[in-house]
Every structure is written in structure tokens, then in C-alpha cells.
Amino acid sequence: MNARRDPAETGVTVFHNARLWDGVSDEALENASIVVEGARIREAGADARHTGPAHRIDCGGLFLMPGLIDAHYHANTPSYDFYGTDRMHPALLAAHAARLLTGAVDRGYTTIRDAGGGDVGLAQALDAGLIDGPRFFYPGKALTQTGGHGDMRRRGEPDLCGCGEYAGVICEAVDGPHEMRKAVRQRFRQGATQIKIFLSGGVSTELAPLEMPHFTDAEILVAVEEAARRGSYVMAHCHTDAGARRCVELGVRTIEHGSLIEPETAALIAEAGAYVVPTLSAGELIAENAEALGLPKSATEKVREVNKRTLDAIEACVSAGVKLGLGCDLHGDVFLQTQGRELLLRGQVQRPVDVLRSATSINAEIVQRAGELGRIAAGALADLILVDGDPLSDLSVFVSSAKTVRLVMIDGKIRRDRRV
């Protein structure tokens, strides 16, 4: 059952007989209840009660927890063919985005933070109920420099407009503090909730080697300054250790990927109170599907080496006390399994409860909604999932989430109900 369903006419839903994990505690609470009134949780715990009329749900001892939050998603990326995506008809692209967002809810993700390409049109469609998707935080097009990672033009491709400018589906190229300032202000004019920039190269762009620094300090500082004026922040694609240090020095709030972070830099990140959002599953899937994705052998070898070092980087961050978010870096159908697989892979270097915190309460901090999202507590928004299994001991339950996530509630409304 996938249609939106309101609770009883009273506006009250009561979950009872649940194993309740609140998004922060080390253990789940047995035989607990949650009272949801309207869009928010009124009370939760062993003593939560409601004696009046309500929509009552017997959880049958299943695991009830906050909805998952994905802090690195690409709703407007239907495949790893970024060059082709730039040339896709907008209506077709929107249809793909709707499918990817709907699928996120199917997998138990009630909130998505887009990492480039997600825009005001998708946000408006979600708000209007035209897409049955999650909460959506978006940056608009990510910002890169000309010829940097995210500039999807091919080497030698003619400049048809004669202007040298690039604005694709995921990214736009800007050069100099003035262009950066205008681009950031334009994104906030269109309702962006955060700004995404690139501080290092990557494996998917022909023109920008992984180690290549991006943007001048002056350009980055402009982005950070303009975001701060709006009460927002900058998230930065950054694989390298040197790039992560620049993030800390220049005020970037979240470091995306962070694959090559060394222990000394991890300590600086922790001291600055910045966040790192690793994306293990995307790297693994790129390596496994390199030939199908059209990656040359040299790029495939680099991906595999980066994957190995990413686990070391995560361990360094954990040891230093860095707050780690969780993101899947989804790029179309090949990557659909990343949302479940990411949690499982993170379990190689973290306790399951810490991985779950990353996907709930810590990610809520990242999207600037701590206390409202990623928690089960009085006053929090009623974004909940009911899971058949015990994620505190076995994160693999999310790999087959279409079967194990039995119910999804967002804003107090039941959006998926697979209990029957």
C-alpha cells in the first residue's frame, strides 16, 4: 500500500508493542509506545498513553525507529552517464527524479539532502504532493571551476556558444569571487537550503584528476560568507587530505567523501566541529561495475585504491571524534542498492548503533534540524519507520529494505504500509 494515508479523524496515531530506538540511545526500549498527534510526536516511551479515539498500530514487537536520512543523494542523476544526463529532455529527467525520490521512501528514507542537481522544481513538486517522496534539502546546481570535477564537457568539445561557460544538470562552472558570490545568491533566491562546491577532483570527470585542488581561497570564502548570511552552510566534495584541511581552514561545514583524510587532519576537523559524510557504497559499486559504466582501467584502479583508503579515513575520523554523517551518493539504477549497502559497509568500522546515529540524529544536525528530525522524542516530527529485524545487531536488514521496512510515516502520515 503506497498511497498517503492520514490517521484517524482525531489526528492521533498510537504505535504500541514496539521495540523503540530513539535515534541516540545505545539500546532499544522494549514494549514501548509512541503517540503521534498531527505531524509531531506527543509522547514516546514505556509509559506513553492515549485513551481517546486514535488510529492504533500494533507493532508486534518490531523495531520502531526514526526515519533514515540520506545526506548525499542525487535526485536528478538517472545514470552514471553524466554527459548524457546533461543532454536529457527536462521532462524525462523529472520523471527519473520522481522515481528515485519515491524509491527512497520505499527504502525507509524519510529525508534526503541532495548533493548537486536537486532544485526548486523538485522541492515544489514534493511539497505539492505530485511526487510521493521524502523531505528534501537541496543546493541547486553544485558549483565547480571551469575544467574542474563536475564540468562534464569532454576534452576537445567545441564551445558552441563561444562564451566558455558551463551549466549542466548537476553542476555549474564559476570562476572568481564575483561569479561565485552571484551564483550562491542566485541559489538562495531559488530556495536552496545549502550550497555545494567542489574542492578536489574525482573519478568521473575526464578533466580533473583526483588530487587537483579546486577554487582559490578567496572564491571559497565568498561561498562560506554568503551561506552564513543566510543561516546556511557549504558542503564540499573533497577526497584529498589537503582539501579537507582547506575545508577546515576556510569554514566549510560538511566534507563529502573525505576518502583520504589522515589522522592529523581528522583531529582538526573534530576541533572545528565540522562533519564528514563518507560514501563507501558508491565507490564499491563503481569498482564492481566499472566496465559497464565505461570507466577506463586507470580510473578503475584509482577507485579501488581510494576505496581501501576510505575505511582508514573513517577509522581516523572515529578515533578523533569527528561526527560522521551517512550518504549513498546515488547515481541511477546501478546505485539503487547503495542506500542499504552504505549502512552495512559502515558497519565494518563502526558499531551498528553508531552507524544508525549517523543516518538519523547526526544527519539531522547536518541538515540543521536537530531535535526535529532523526529523533523519537516529544515535539519531534513524526518521521518513523517500522523494521522487521534488529538493526542494532544486524545492519543487513536494510539491504533488503523493500521487505524489511514494513511501515513508513512522514509528518504523521503513513506513506508506506507493508504489514499485510
User: Are 243 and 293 in the same domain?
Assistant: yes
Continuous segment of H or E residues that includes residue 127: helix 120-127
Non-local (6+) Cβ contacts of 132 within 8 A are 2, 4, 102, 105, 415
**What is the C-alpha to C-alpha distance for residues 287 and 95, in angstroms, rounded to an integer?**
28
Q: What is the mean predicted confidence (pLDDT) over 227-236?
A: 98
User: Are 235 and 151 in the same domain?
Assistant: yes
- The answer to the question of residue 2 being in a domain is no
User: Are 75 and 63 in the same domain?
Assistant: no
Q: What pLDDT is recorded for position 160? A: 58
- The answer to the question of residue 329 being in a domain is yes
CA angle 21, 74, 182 (to 5 degrees): 115
User: Are 181 and 272 in the same domain?
Assistant: yes
User: How many domains does the chain divide into?
Assistant: 2
CA angle 132, 359, 281 (to 5 degrees): 90
End-of-domain residue from the set 323, 338, 366: 366
| Predicted confidence (pLDDT) at residue 166 exceeds the cutoff of 90 | no
**What is the C-alpha to C-alpha distance for residues 287 and 308, in angstroms, rounded to an integer?**
11
User: Are 55 and 200 in the same domain?
Assistant: no
User: Are 61 and 185 in the same domain?
Assistant: no
| DSSP 8-state symbol, 5 | B
- The answer to the question of residue 316 being in a domain is yes
pLDDT by residue (tens digit) across 309-318? 999 999 999 9
**In the structure, what pLDDT confidence band is assigned to residue 3 with cuts at 50, 70 and 90?**
very low
3-state helix, strand, coil in the chain (%, to 5): 35, 20, 45
| DSSP 8-state symbol, 361 | I
Hey, what amino acid is at 142? Answer: A
User: Are 229 and 123 in the same domain?
Assistant: yes
Q: What CATH number did the domain enclosing 43 receive?
A: 2.30.40.10
Q: What is the mean predicted confidence (pLDDT) over 181-209?
A: 91
Q: Hey, what's the torsion of the CAs at 248, 249, 252, 255, to 10 degrees?
A: -30
- The answer to the question of residue 7 being in a domain is no
**In the structure, what pLDDT confidence band is assigned to residue 1 with cuts at 50, 70 and 90?**
very low
Q: What is the mean predicted confidence (pLDDT) over 280-294?
A: 84
End-of-domain residue from the set 323, 342, 366: 366
| Three cell numbers, residue 352 | 551498528
Q: Is residue 48 within 8 Å of residue 32, measured between CB atoms?
A: yes
**In the structure, what pLDDT confidence band is assigned to residue 305 with cuts at 50, 70 and 90?**
confident
- The answer to the question of residue 156 being in a domain is yes
Q: What CATH number did the domain enclosing 191 receive?
A: 3.20.20.140
Radius of gyration of the CA atoms of the chain, in A: 21
- The answer to the question of residue 6 being in a domain is no
| Predicted confidence (pLDDT) at residue 156 exceeds the cutoff of 50 | yes
Q: Which of 83-92, 191-200, 271-280, 407-416 has the lowest mean pLDDT?
A: 83-92
User: Are 41 and 97 in the same domain?
Assistant: no
- The answer to the question of residue 3 being in a domain is no
Q: What is the domain range of residue 158?
A: 68-366
Backbone φ, ψ for residue 300 (5° rounding): -65, -45
- The answer to the question of residue 4 being in a domain is no
Q: What pLDDT is recorded for position 4? A: 52
Hey, what amino acid is at 181? Answer: R
